[in-house]
Amino acid sequence: MNNFYASVECMLDPALKKYPIAVCGSVEERHGIVLAKNYKAKAFDVKTGDAVWQAKQKCKDLVVVPPHYEEYIKYSKLARSVYERYTDQVEPYGMDECWLDISGTESLFGSPEKVANEIRETMKFELGLTISVGVSFNKIFAKLGSDMKKPDAVTVIPKDTFKEKIWGLPAADLLGVGRATQRVLDSYCIRTIGDLANTDPEFLRRRLGKNGVVLWNYANGNDLSLVAKKDFVSPIKSVGHGITTVADLEKPEQVWPVFLELTQDIGHKLRVHGLSAEGVAIHIRDNTLNTRQWQTKIALPTQSPMIIAKTAFQLFEKRYGWNNPIRSVTVQAINLVPQDTPRQIDMFMDAAKQDKLERMEKCVEDGI
């Protein structure tokens, strides 16, 4: 859906349509960044992730509106109800995007391009929202196609001519190529999707790990992943919690209690889902909005908030250079396994002590 948050806000208040607008988090609660913008704001180079003050510097007439998440959820569900008229294989990708598998429905609804245009018109007529649709033979190229023409458009990427259609596009347009990956690719003059497709996959593996081979397959049209059915619940891969602090954090002793507070929620969620963590990841955003992230393993799978917090803090002290004060902190429990997974005991690890700590924490949480 095009400029989803901003488009919903313009429907709720049609007077906004004539202005450049940005949906922004609360400045008072220090979530003051641009979450979405309309095309009028985009014309002034207002970008998602800009601080509010930066966005207003770029566009002095910018109208800032707060987010109304309950409305976004409502319209997201309404959109999916439209998609489900054509298939039960509807896989959400965030609140405003979905993959649909309409294989085998041609005798019912016509060609894929016809279906795409029909959905596009239905969304405008019934919901007042414009969408851009990508039609292709796999999920990655369908997503790429949806980004190629905006707003209110359909792009078809056929299997027999996809190289001509997309190999000239920037590699950064491909799903999975983030800023860090793009910097690595740029350093080896891999600028386009075609460059990526024609690079030795073993070279990419050495430079980018297994993700390098995944991207090589994507660029060559080898994505074989299936579209999940609408009621499919994907397994939990991580459990996290983050906070934007009321004031910038300037010393380690201010960071430790934040980690400890965040991991109470994480430990509770792990127990609810019957999972233990074998690793911890931290995401640190400083007051210039630069974000760094690191991860590490935990010696034994755990649900303990204290162990997760200590592991996170040790990682933080080892990696964060304190070039700037800290604006927000997120902790994630990663590499999750069922809580009853047998542990490979290391002779130097006190598993009994860890079990005792976890039982004590559970008793405290349960009020026993």
Positions marked active-site: 97
For residues 23 and 37, the answer to whether their CB atoms sit within 8 Å is yes
b (16+ CB within 10 A) / e for 218-250: bbbbebeeebeebeeeeeeebbbbeebeeeebe
**Backbone dihedral region for residue 363 (phi beyond 0: left; psi -120 to 50: alpha; all else: beta):** alpha
Packed helices 201-208 and 179-187: angle between N→C axes, nearest 10 degrees: 130
- φ and ψ at residue 296, rounded to 5 degrees: -155, 165
Number of H helices, E strands in the chain: 15, 11
Give me the phi and psi of 196, to 5 degrees please: -65, -45
- Element spanning 111, H or E: none
- Start-to-end CA distance of the chain, whole Å, equals 49
* Contact call for residues 353 and 299 (beta carbons, < 8 A): no
Separation between Cα atoms, residue 230 and residue 266, nearest integer Å: 27
Pairing between β-strand 63-65 and β-strand 21-24 as defined by DSSP bridges: parallel
Rounded (to 5) percent helix, strand, coil in the chain: 45, 20, 35
Q: Determine the Cα angle at 92 with ends 139 and 119, to 5°.
A: 80
Contact 267, 304 (CB under 8 A): yes
Instruction: Identify the burial level of 18 via C-beta atoms within 10 angstroms of its C-beta, where 0-12 means exposed, 13-18 middle and 19 or more buried.
Output: exposed
Extract the tokens encoding 90. 């509807």
